[in-house]
A and B are shown apart, each in its own frame.
Chain A
Amino acid sequence: MSTLSIHNLHASIEGQSILKGLDLEVPKGEVHAIMGPNGSGKSTLAKILAGNEDYEVTEGDVLMDGENLLEMEVDERSRAGLFLAFQYPNEIPGVSNANFLRAALQARQPDGAELDAVAFYKQMYARMDELDMDRKFTARAVNEGFSGGEKKRNEILQLMMLEPKYAVLDETDSGLDIDALKVVARGVNSMRSPERGFLVITHYQRLLEYIVPDKVHVMIDGRIRRSGGRELALELEEKGYDWAREELAGAGA
């Protein structure tokens, strides 16, 4: 029951089929990585989990701790404990980071209860310190004028504040220099717990040196083609995605 389980997921956009029978199970307490070449459908999977309705799910189901995720609204999924760190986080002009986070936490309060503002700021500052984020980011409009790295850090700040049951990180490493990568990984690692599952999507093995996964899955053309331990990431890095496409997808497709 304590898993995020994806079964035979098929999805398409504008008539183009992208996910073609994807199976995946992420138990709480584990970190799973998905690697795959560009265009294999990694972001599509992430966005479908979050509830992006641009994509049409044509078959299959997703259960989060036994609950049917696909039947929930986007905001319901988040409140139920799903978190997506976006590959390309949006800017929200005129809305400060602090107000945004407050609204997100307020939405999780029982009816009529007000969020404790003092406790909120205290926690936010503590989390920002862990991520080496300047306090000035609290007053700045969400992601507006942020560098790529600042945006990714901000996603992790949100993850830390919202304390989800399952977190999906979509290429949180892309565009980060090594120092920023370490900071982000530190944030993620501090959130690892027996009560939380992670699905870390990445194109590169590098991130997995800092966020060490329990399992690695290779996704090609809308399906998981192979699953294994950490060493699979290294093998993939060494042999390249072309090899993976031929070796793993060729036969099975």
Chain B
Amino acid sequence: MSTLIESPPAPATPGSVLDQPAPAPEGLPEWFTARRTAAWQRFQDLPLPERTNEKWRFSRIKEASLEGFTHAAEPASLADPHAEHVLDKAVARLAFHNGHLVSADLPENQSGLTVMPLEQALRECPDLIEAHFMKSETPLGSEKFAALHEANALSGVFIHAAKGTAPEDPVEIVHYFSGCQGAHFPHTLVVGEDNAEVTVIEHFVSLDEESAFVIGVSDLAADGAARVRHAMLQRLSTSSKAILINTTSAGRDADAKSLLLNLGGAWVRTESVSHVTGTGANVNLLSASIPGTGQEFDQRTYQIHKAQHTTSDLLYKNALFDKARTIFSGLIIVDDGAHHTDAYQTCRNLLMSDHGEAHSLPGLEIKADQVKCSHGSTTAQIDPDTLLYLKARGIHDKTARKLITYGFIEEVVERFGHEAAGRLLDRFIEEKFKALGA
């Protein structure tokens, strides 16, 4: 069942990502190579985002520069895919190191469930990929970087659950990164057909303290009454940068949930766009961030309702330590005719010091009737009465603060509602607290 790929394909000559895209191997579908070429052209034509652009307001925009970043080199020694203790049970596991497939533990006799490295899927089921691959535009500001991703994407995973397929355990994907100034373009595409049910847990992990630039795209599509769940556990080195673009679309009565645990990276920009397109669809958008000094997490979201009787619920929580910075800018868009929409958007910032900086820009744009929408954002320090209550039970100040902060983040973990994933999330949250001296 397990396939260990001993020698990866010959690597591309390292070169600046600004000079040329990564060369594509032979035998890929024509539409795909054409898309890459067009995307490369788009990347070159599009301007760099500017400070005056509302979509980049408050962002440390110079961090978006790819100057000096090269196509990630083949690592001298590949990561041991089993070094990382991850989920106890998974229906499929794949691990990549700087884009090279290191191991693939794929399901056998799982009729209806397809889990494949993207490149293999492009050869074996190109039509399925074409139907979904980067289909929607990137409206939140990173269209230039999305184009760069599209021009380079080859590493990643395609997950397809056919009608009614519901594997019990999640699919787990680990992307390891190493080396100095490498650029990476991991791609994840998850498709759940009618009544299918699939959960995907993904890790982005740095193996060293070097600076990587990850431009990742994960697209989730849930068809009729499908349940699709995706969690991204971001643990890049604190000198790395990332732009993570996520699109979620939910069809009739579908239920989609995505979670981001944002821990590593010097600068991480996340763009999440949900298309709630089918009547009765429900989307949950969750994020938990724990930045410290030198880290900026820049979060942009759209919840777009296009059909009647749809719901979406966004909960972003940021626990800012020391001199951390976060930006949250979210917009709920209820299209013409999307009556009876319930859409909620909540961003909560917990400042653990007097030096943190949390910006919130919530917004609503409603063109339909009978709509229930709310958006709210709060920024506060630990409630002194709550702290007093814990200390009045003998709990030391430091432990009390940690417990309260942990509880603050825990609401996000609980909402994801997956026990095994929850244990994993808790472990990394705990590790991050430790690293921050909490």
Chain A residues contacting B397 (CB-CB under 8 Å) are 73, 75
Query: Which listed segment binds B: A15-23, A37-45, A102-110, A211-219?
Result: A102-110
A74-B403 contact given A108-B394, A162-B394, CB 8 Å threshold: no
Q: Does A99 contact B (CB under 8 A)?
A: yes
Given A74-B388, A93-B411, check contact A103 B406 (CB 8 Å): no
With contact pairs A52-B388, A94-B409 given, residues A104 and B403 touching in the complex (Cβ less than 8 Å): no
A95 to chain B, nearest CB (A): 4
Q: Do the beta carbons of A94 and B411 come within 8 Å of each other?
A: yes
Chain A nearest CB from B434 CB (Å) reads 16
Chain A residue numbers with a CB within 8 Å of B385 are 90
B110 proximal to A (CB < 8 A)? no
Which B389-408 residues have C-beta < 8 A from chain A? 389-397, 399-400, 403-404, 406-408
Q: Which of A5-13, A58-66, A78-86, A116-124 contacts B (4 or more CB under 8 A)?
A: A78-86
* Contact A92 to B386, CB < 8 A, known contacts A99-B403, A103-B399: yes
Q: Does A233 contact B (CB under 8 A)?
A: no
A93 near B408: Cβ-Cβ < 8 Å:
yes
The size of the chain A interface, using a CB distance under 8 A, is: 27
- The answer to whether the Cβ of B410 comes within 8 Å of any Cβ in the partner chain is yes
A-B contact count (CB 8 A): 80
Is A249 located at the chain interface by the 8 A CB criterion? no
Quick check: B394 and A95 within 8 Å, CB to CB?
A: no
Q: Which residue of A lies closest to B384 (CB)?
A: A54
Chain B residues, Cβ within 8 Å of A74: 388, 391-392
**Residue of A whose beta carbon sits closest to that of B393:** A104
In the complex, residue of chain B having the shortest beta-carbon distance to the beta carbon of A158: B393
CB pair A92 B404 closer than 8 Å:
yes
Within 8 A of B (CB), among A85-138: 86, 89-95, 99-100, 103-104, 107-108
A99 to B410 alpha-carbon distance, docked (Å): 13
Q: Is the CB of A27 closer than 8 A to any CB of chain B?
A: no
Cβ–Cβ contact B392 & A141, under 8 A: no
Q: By the criterion CB–CB under 8 Å, are A75 and B395 in contact?
A: yes
Q: Please report whether the interface of chain B is mostly helix, strand, loop or mixed according to DSSP.
A: helix
> Is B124's beta carbon under 8 Å from chain A?
no
B107 → chain A, closest Cβ, in Å? 33
- Nearest CB of A to B384, in Å: 8
Is B209 in contact with chain A by the CB < 8 A criterion? no
The answer to whether A84 touches B392, judged by C-beta atoms less than 8 angstroms apart, is yes
**Which of A52, A75, A86, A92 is the one whose CB lies under 8 Å from B394?**
A75
Using Cβ atoms and an 8 Å threshold, which residues of chain B touch A94? 406-411, 414
The one of B388, B392, B410 that contacts A95, using a Cβ cutoff of 8 Å: B410
Residue among B388, B399, B411 with max Cβ neighbours from chain A (10 Å): B388
Q: Which residues of B sit under 8 angstroms from A51, Cβ to Cβ?
A: 388, 391-392
Q: Of B393, B403, B407, which contacts A78 at CB under 8 A?
A: B393
Q: Smallest CB–CB gap between A152 and chain B, Å?
A: 14
Query: A136–B109 Cα gap in the complex (Å)?
Result: 39
In the bound complex, do residue A78 and residue B392 qualify as a contact, i.e. CB atoms below 8 Å apart? yes
Taking CB atoms, residues of chain A closer than 8 Å to B395 are 75, 103-104, 107
Complex Cα distance A52/B397, Å? 14
Looking across the interface, which residue of chain B has its beta carbon closest to that of A52?
Answer: B388
A62→B319 CA distance, assembly (Å)? 39
A50 within 8 A of B: yes
Contacts of B407 in A (CB 8 A): 92-95, 141
- Asked whether B393 lies within 8 Å of A100 as measured between CB atoms, the reply is yes
Interface membership of chain A positions 23-54, coded 1 if the CB is closer than 8 angstroms to chain B and 0 otherwise = 00000000000000000000000000011100
Shortest CB-to-CB span from B300 to chain A, Å, is 26
Which residues of B lie under 8 Å from residue A104 when comparing CB positions?
393-395
Complex Cα distance, B392 from A77, in Å, reads 8
Contact A100 B388, beta carbon cutoff 8 Å: no
What residues on B are CB-neighbors of A77 within 8 Å? 392
Residues of B within 8 A of A92 (CB): 386, 389-390, 403-404, 407
User: Could you tell me the distance in whole angstroms from the C-beta of A63 to the nearest C-beta in chain B?
Assistant: 19
How distant is the Cα of A141 from the Cα of B394 in the complex, in angstroms? 18
What B residues does A100 contact at CB under 8 A? Answer: 390, 393, 403
Name 10 extra pairs, CB < 8 A, besides A86-B392, A94-B414, A104-B394.
A50-B388, A51-B388, A75-B391, A75-B397, A78-B391, A90-B388, A92-B407, A94-B408, A103-B395, A158-B393
- A residues touching B (Cβ–Cβ < 8 Å)? 50-52, 73-75, 77-79, 84, 86, 89-95, 99-100, 103-104, 107-108, 141, 158, 162
13 contacts between A and B (CB under 8 A): A73-B397, A74-B392, A75-B391, A75-B397, A78-B393, A86-B389, A86-B392, A89-B389, A92-B403, A93-B408, A94-B414, A107-B393, A107-B399
Q: What are the 5 A-B residue pairs with the smallest beta carbon separation, nearest first?
A: A94-B407, A94-B410, A78-B394, A95-B407, A90-B389
